[in-house]
Structure 1
């Protein structure tokens, strides 16, 4: 999305204010309130993008690696998921709200392409900025004077610079979960995915990325196998946790091992996520053993 957006011109006297405010109120209420919308919408968007990247099946880790048709499909998936999130039905356009036909437009770039059939109708505008991990949710009445004069081969027109002022923002520059792999050095990623088995890849994941919570979906992507949760725990000496423990690395789950995570002064780790840590003193090692990590070697023996 554009780095600098103009202030919205939507006020009580704006010609679109009444309709946009009514639509915004209905959308917010359907989401369970403003706070709930700010939490569920960003996560929905992250899930839509990651579901198309399909790291677990393809090994791809970034939006830029997608084929052109796959990038287009993200918009379709966002439309479907947003309707489900808000409990909206399919309409003559993408959906119907308060008796109005509404189009849903998504972009991973800086603008939206408005089809001819959506002109003069309300549009829900969705945008994701992967570089900055920010997302946007807005409403506009796609009036001709809000659109560019030029059009593409499908007769679609984008929103003009002036048109951006006529967007009512429900969420603007809202943080959303960053693509996990963007923050990981490329050499570490290569090491992780070199493993021939799920256990090998998961063990390398927690060797390479320590003291940082790793969510369940990332672990599943690395494991590339069913029942990966069983293998990540102790498993008669063969599980990921067993392998790492023998190397002096403690692998903890956010809820089960919350007390130990706090004792190690590590970042908060949500339930279902995992975090690894290598004790640097014998006292820390003994503390971990007290919590069940009894296979840890003595400091200096790893």
Structure 2
């Protein structure tokens, strides 16, 4: 089947009827000539947008995985069903609004610089645009769960640039790939999400870390298998899913990690350990953890025994 030619700037576009009332036929502007699109893009570019959206995406993924109750840490796992994966896009909308300090308000999802903006996330290859979003400005976030990456685009999703046919049962349509390639503005290129160190464990190591042992024993194994890898607090909570205060068990594991693996465990809860880790090149903000060789601490003037308690 031959794909119809892609309408270009200067061509006419007619959106479909929508609840908010009709939007008239209009001429398609090139992105560079679309004043509202450029205003929204300028507002986004003035923020530390890559950092904010990276955190928003990570929070949305972790919210759906709910590792502290389910032991899950990977969206590609067969323990995550398709409906849950799809819900990431819905949750993402709220996390983006929160991290960008916007408001959830009509007529779309939010407003930026006084301009209505739709926010759409996907873990697939395209986005689903509702009728209300046709010919409006859309912030489009794409998550590649397998590669643990995301990207963000900004586009006026003209009806003429959306797929034809009947759409899905809700009347939603997807932007054509050729339209995205030609007319979407890159806000954040493909970028890594915050590391999830549990993804680095081999199947055999996972069996031990999530095995039928006491939590302290499993955490000793975790630190031993991941030397010099920053382990977020959320990963500790995932390993200790359903148990009370797993971080206390992690603190209790510190002398045993030194004894069994020759590693000093540092935690960002304590300023002296946070500072020591920073000098070794590890960011332990938000209560993260890392196990390091004592020789590296000594080379920076620290006494390892101080941190083993």
TM-score by length of 1: 0.77
Q: Partners in 2 of 1:40 and 1:108 — Cα distance?
A: 19
Which residue of structure 2 aligns with residue 177 of structure 1? 194
Which residue of structure 2 aligns with residue 199 of structure 1? 216
> Helix, strand or coil for the counterpart of 1:113?
coil
In the alignment, structure 1 residue 124 sits paired with structure 2 residue 149: no
Superposition map of 1:141-160 within 5 A: 141-150=156-165, 151-160=167-176
Maintained 8 Å contact 1:46/1:176: yes
Q: Partners in 1 of 2:230 and 2:116 — Cα distance?
A: 43
| 2:64 corresponds to which of 32, 47, 52 | 52
In the alignment, structure 1 residue 276 sits paired with structure 2 residue 291: yes
Gap runs ≥5 in structure 2: 1-8, 10-28
Gap runs ≥5 in structure 1: 1-8, 234-238, 295-302
Q: What RMSD, in angstroms, separates the aligned Cα atoms of the two structures?
A: 2.9
Q: How big is each residue's C-alpha offset from its partner over 1:160-182, in whole Å with a ceiling of 9 and x where there is no partner?
A: 12211111222122332144333
CA drift at 1:78 = 0.8
Q: Partners in 2 of 1:80 and 1:131 — Cα distance?
A: 23
In the alignment, structure 1 residue 70 sits paired with structure 2 residue 84: yes
Maintained 8 Å contact 2:153/2:184: yes
Which residue of structure 1 aligns with residue 117 of structure 2? 102
Maintained 8 Å contact 2:60/2:91: yes
> Helix, strand or coil for the counterpart of 1:135?
strand
> Helix, strand or coil for the counterpart of 2:105?
coil
| 1:214 corresponds to which of 218, 228, 231 | 231
What number of residue pairs does the alignment pair up?
A: 269
Q: Partners in 2 of 1:260 and 1:187 — Cα distance?
A: 32
Superposition map of 1:238-277 within 5 A: 239-247=252-260, 248-254=262-268, 255-257=271-273, 267-271=281-285, 272-277=287-292
Which residue of structure 2 aligns with residue 228 of structure 1? 246
